[in-house]
Amino acid sequence: MRRYIAEALGTFALVFTGTGAIVINDVTAGGVSHVGIALTFGLIVMALIYAIGDVSGAHLNPAVTVGFVVARRLRVRFLAPYILSQFAGALLASVALLCMFGNHAGLGATTPFGSGWQSFALEGVLTGILMFVILCVSTGPKEVGTAAGIAIGGVVGLEALFAGPISGASMNPARSLAPAIVSGHLSSLWIYLTAPFLGSVIAVPLWMATRPSTRTYEPSEKPILKEVKA
């Protein structure tokens, strides 16, 4: 149960601060800026990985959870509870923002700037890159370690910086679904409920292709074997 509570609280914090930055930017007529919004998403992801990464893995994203399951680093029985916890936290965050600020900026709902298929492809690639990095720096099903928070938060911030103006750089079905439902902005929602999952799944075999099943030790890193006598 601690895993699911951590995922709900973590996703609440992600959506509240990330989409909250979008809402406050609208309320203050650009007081946060696009760069500030991207940094907010990256920094909150980094902070949450260090805060709850050792509890639930700090997935905060149904697409990431699916990626871990496909990579066989998380058991299937955890899939539904994780995703429900993430959606619950995201919905609570959007409701909280609605109560505080009203329906400004669609509560941060993601919508494509250009064509739907352009944003679909972009969201798939963005999530694929994110999932690849997560699998490379995480331990088992958990995003933990000194490098994990910096690497994953950095990728989120980077992708939000350059891709946000086109697709919204969601990479997260929970982050997109919650504000869309609460604000009523449901157009093009199919993009953000399909592309991230597709990108996450595709990233798994690409990650496996870079990880040989049998490691070849270099001379300088050969393991020291101790003889055990019966």
Q: Which domains does the chain have, with CATH numbers?
A: 2-207 (1.20.1080.10)
* Residue 99 vs residue 147, higher pLDDT: 99
Contact at 8 Å (CB) between 172 and 195? Answer: no
> Whole-model pTM?
0.88
- The span from the CA of 168 to the CA of 159, in Å, is 10
Mean pLDDT for 74-93 is 97
Residue 206 pLDDT > 60, yes or no? yes
Q: Which residue has better confidence, 230 or 13?
A: 13
pLDDT, average across residues 130-140: 90
Kindly indicate the confidence band of residue 140, based on its pLDDT and cuts at 50, 70 and 90.
Answer: confident
**What is the pLDDT at residue 213?**
59
The pLDDT of residue 101: 96
Does the pLDDT value for residue 223 go beyond 80?
A: no
pLDDT at 230 exceeding the cut of 80? no
Q: Is 33 left (phi over 0), alpha (psi -120 to 50) or beta?
A: left
How many Cβ atoms are within 10 Å of 88's Cβ, its own excluded?
17
Q: Indicate the burial class of 166 (C-beta count within 10 angstroms; 0-12, 13-18, 19 or more).
A: middle
Residue 214, both tokens: 């049998």
Whole-number pLDDT of residue 220 = 40
Nearest alpha-carbon partner for 196 in 100, 120, 86:
120
Predicted pLDDT of residue 208: 93
- Whose tokens are 């990431």? That residue is 64
pLDDT at residue 139 in the model = 77
Q: What is the pLDDT of residue 187?
A: 87
For residues 198-215, give the mean pLDDT. 85
The values of phi and psi at residue 198, to 5°, are -65, -45
